[in-house]
Structure 1
Amino acid sequence: MRVLLLNPPNIEEPHVEAGPLPIGLVSIREFITEQNIEVKILNLFDIHKWSSIEHYLRLKDYSIVGIPCYTRQRLSVFKLATLCKKINNDINVVLGGPHASCLDTQILKNVNSIDYIIRGEGELPFVELIQCLKQNELKKLFRIKNLTFRHKNHIIRNVSRKQIHDLSNFPIFKLSAKELEMFPECESLLIHFKQLNKIKGIAPVLCSRGCSYNCQFCCNGVFWDKQIYYPVEHVIQQIEYFRNKFGIRIFDFYDDNFVFSKKYVKELCNKIIEKKLYINWWCSGRADNLDTEILTLLGKAGCFMVSIGVESGNNQVLKNINKKLTAEEIIRSSKSIRKCKLKLRVTLSIGHPGETPAAINDTIEIIKEIKPDQVGLFLAKIYPCTSLYELAKSKDLIDDNYWFSSTEKTIPFFNDKYSQKEILLFRNKIIDSLSPYITDEYTNKVHSSELNLSW
């Protein structure tokens, strides 16, 4: 039984450049490959015409097609599922990913071309589903945890599986050279390394799954209850694979909060130093997890930039979004990053409940004080399964039907006091005030001469 995994197109946002393969999709491929199941990934992200997509799809030799469903691509995913059935009506269409996990029963009610939805972590239930379909033992469908499917005229939602706590049996990501080429396009520092002729690509490293926090705007809780780390040796093997096979020495640590466990971070950094890997990398962390000791060790292990989620410079807004962080902690952490001679990237999200002109001014002032090398600016959009979504629903601003309307292609944002137009004016004020710092994914104000390369 052959399986085809599709990275769906982004028809809704054709202006968005092609991005990297979803790490979750790669993890699914590597895991089911280990089970001796033939699987292939087909990347459709940057194809913007359905006629071209239909030309690329060759489904007659496949029994199962798996598609990750993210909120911004949901309509493309629904249409892609329908197209798959049009080409091969006997194929089993399986959805996974955050949006499908949040709205599994609603999707099956609204989109007839989708057969199965796997909620949350997908590796184990997907393998069980493949084996069940291969052996034609459909009664076993009811035993697969995290699975939602149709049975006769009913939608069956099986019990949920507990978060996987032991990641030692998961294989490393064996990306191809072509797949690796997709990752640098999203990373703004690439151009500076290219100027030094020191780069052979950028590779992703994943040290953990999940997050132990519960910010109002984030849906991480759909997949994970807390943050679980891969064994240190697993991460070292991943780095060595990319180094030995492709000569890569620049890595993007994909974890939402890499520095959550200082014990783990110390062990990994010391191992990188001990093995003399001579790599450069960047990571993300919370301001309250960073101190001079851990930042110094990060630098010694080759880290050159740390990204922290500031979101707002106003303590009331930070409290409203359950950030469990204060502006004072952000300032203190930023100074520590500077002291340790690391580059600082911050992200802001504008328009949360409680946002006011005064709060916007606080955000502008904190950025001017900490002087980051790079700022990512985002709007506080409403995603399913977040506390922000539930708040918007309670105010009758949105309901689950929104996500199935062909006329509603955007992801909405709202504020409990100001209109979307006013929120956009807030954003423009920040852009005008912080123009030296505001960047997109392809430009930043860090110059190659400032980077301390370790080779």
Structure 2
Amino acid sequence: MKILLINPPSENELLGNNPSIIEEERGYNPPLGILYIAGYLEKHTNFGVEVVDTQAEEISYDRLKDVIRAKLPDVVGITAMTFTIIDVIKVINLIKSIRPEIKIVLGGPHVHIYPEETVNIPGVDFLVLGEGEVTFKELVENIENPARLRSISGLVYKENGRVINTGARPLNEDLDSLPFPARHLTPVQKYSSLMARRSPITTMFTSRGCPYRCTFCDRPHLGKNFRARSAMNVVDEMEQCVKLGINEFLIYDDTFTIDRQRVIDVCDEIKSRKLNIGWDIRARVNNIDNDLLQKLKEANCERIHYGVESGNPEILKILNKGITIERVRTTFQQTKEAGISVLAYFMIGCPKETRKEIMETIAFAKELKPDFVHITIFTPFPATEIYKMGLKDGIIKEDFWREFAKNPVTGFQPRCWEENFTREELQELIVYAYKSFYTRPSYILRRLTHIRSIGEFKRMARAGLKVFGMQS
């Protein structure tokens, strides 16, 4: 059996309510979801497995037709995100036009949230819910034996026109048992990031699940139960990546620093193996301290991403962040003193937020002096607590995400939180926020003194020119 896993194009990706620069300069990340499945299949089956990352390889739909014709797989697995579902549908139609017998399997956040709507998309044969490694393997082993499909947890499919949902598969509690993502099946040299000091880069997950309850969180498919890989297993994967020529890592755990001792163990393991790497992590301001920062610095952690979201205490309560303004100030100062770069995330247009509070957030961002800020217009994502609250209170007039899931059409515009602002007003404010932060002479001078290479200078200059030219 031949299996092809596809990261679909993003030609029709929903850009939401944010300036295009946020998406245009993000670079390409490896599609870890399908790479985990590929690695699992390679280890536990004898099937032929290939991966096509149409985004990193810049494969057009015409070229993708040629790829499908050349490979003629028996099963195609496709990553399905709500923001790229229109492109997913185009890929399905393309495949079925070439060979209708090819089985199409979708997985990812979109199918987890909207299984019934997604399985009714013409051409879809199966959905894999939640963590897909084991479910996908069991599916392809039994795909020609329909009588056994009902015994496979985590599947959705149609039988005689009726939707069959076999129920959720228990979360994997032993992440060390999973093979590493099959990066060797991708064009590793093509992955990059605006903020990385060198290329290629890779993203990496060292844990799954998050115990926190932020009301805007849009990652329900990973669960709330925090499960972590061992330090040895994490650094083994890093070492494998180094052999592939990758020395820059973006750790994409929701919060890397939940287990303090594990962080220390990872740092010690990196140092003991003398790995010449750089790495970024995501952390909360209230579970990091000077001693941990020193450990991270010694292991060459180059940047920490902090989700601040707002400079107003009341907005932080609405978002259920569980942090204080003063703790943000303290942690940012400690991180800078440790010699680690900082990226801060902020949102504007949150529930109950006024213009005065947005200006407080913009002023707070400048006061903190992070190396970079990522500012977005708050968008209520499907299945989040805030989205449910908006529907209940009538601020969101219709379940627009579900309607889009039922009928994905081009031109769809995700809603912002239209309580105190129109979309146009928020777009004007976010342009002001970016320009007021990034075009300050003091900021530009400080950034120039930190640039280490011509490549980094070119990336920063290109992004900087786009900020100067931003319009609402």
- TM-score of the superposed pair, with normalisation by structure 1: 0.89
* CA offset digits 1:352-386 (Å, max 9, x no partner): 21221121122122112210011112222232222
Structure 1 segments (4+ residues) deviating >6 Å: none
Query: What residue identity is the alignment partner of 1:29?
Result: A
Change (3 A) 1:294 1:64: same
- Please state whether the residue corresponding to 1:176 is helix, strand or coil: helix
Q: Any idea what the Cα deviations from partners look like across 1:330-354, whole Å, max 9, x if unmatched?
A: 1111111012121111111222212
1:160 to 147, 163, 168: 168
Which residue number in structure 1 is paired with residue 423 of structure 2? Answer: 420
Shift of 1:60: 6.2
Q: CA deviation at 1:158?
A: 1.5
Give the superposition deviation at 1:183.
2.0
Report the equivalent of 1:398.
399
| Whole-angstrom CA distance in 2 between matches of 1:91 and 1:59 | 14
Shift of 1:449: 5.0
Per the TM alignment, residue 203 of structure 1 is displaced from its structure 2 partner at its CA by 3.2
Q: Distance in 1 between matches of 2:228 and 2:179?
A: 14
CA–CA distance in structure 2, aligned partners of residues 291 and 437 of structure 1: 30
AA of the residue aligned to 2:328: I
Count of equivalent residues: 432
Match of 2:323 in 1: 325
Task: Give the letter for the 1:202 counterpart.
Answer: I
User: Measured at CA, do residues 258 and 213 of structure 1 come closer, stay the same or move farther in structure 2, by a change above 3 Å?
Assistant: same
The answer as to whether partners of 1:129 and 1:144 remain within 8 angstroms in 2 is yes
Give the aligned partner of residue 441 of structure 1.
none
Separation in 1, partners of 2:448, 2:354: 29
Deviation at 1:448, TM superposition (A): 2.9
Of 56-65 and 226-235, the range deviating more from structure 2: 56-65
What letter matches 1:339 in structure 2?
E
Residue deviations 1:20-55, cap 9 Å, x none?
222111111111111122210012226475333323
Q: Could you tell me how far 1:237 is from its partner in structure 2?
A: 1.1
Deviations 1:124-158 (A, max 9, x none): 1101101111xx32122112111111011211112
Q: Distance in 2 between matches of 1:122 and 1:189?
A: 30
**Matches of 1:240 and 1:255, distance apart in 2:** 19
Q: Residue 431 of structure 1: CA displacement? A: 2.1
Deviation, structure 1 residue 117: 0.7
Deviates more, 1:388-397 or 1:317-326: 388-397
Give 1:210 shift: 2.1
Contact 2:82 2:109 in 1 (8 A): yes
- Equivalent residue letter for 2:243: N
- Contact 2:190-2:200 within 8 A present in 1 as well: no
Task: Give structure 2 stretches of 5+ with no counterpart.
Answer: 442-446, 454-472
Is the contact made by 2:96 and 2:123 (CA closer than 8 Å) also made in structure 1?
A: yes
Work out the CA distance in 2 between the residues paired with 1:8 and 1:306: 30
Deviates further, 18-27 or 354-363? 18-27
Q: Cα RMSD (Å) of the superposition?
A: 2.3
The answer as to whether partners of 2:12 and 2:410 remain within 8 angstroms in 1 is no
In the alignment, which of 55, 72, 95 is matched to residue 66 of structure 2?
Answer: 55
1:66 alignment partner, SS class: strand
Any idea what SS the aligned residue of 1:162 has? coil
Are the structure 2 counterparts of residues 80 and 226 from structure 1 closer, same or farther at C-alpha, using a change threshold of 3 Å? same
Cα offset for 1:295? Answer: 0.5
TM-score normalised by structure 2 residue count = 0.86
1:446 CA drift (Å):
6.8
Q: Does 1 or 2 have the higher relative contact order (CA < 8 Å, sep 6+)?
A: 2
1:171 aligned partner: 179
Partner SS state of residue 89, structure 2: helix
Aligned counterpart, 1:121: 131
Select the residue among 303, 306, 325 that pairs with 1:305: 303
Change (3 A) 1:382 1:74: farther
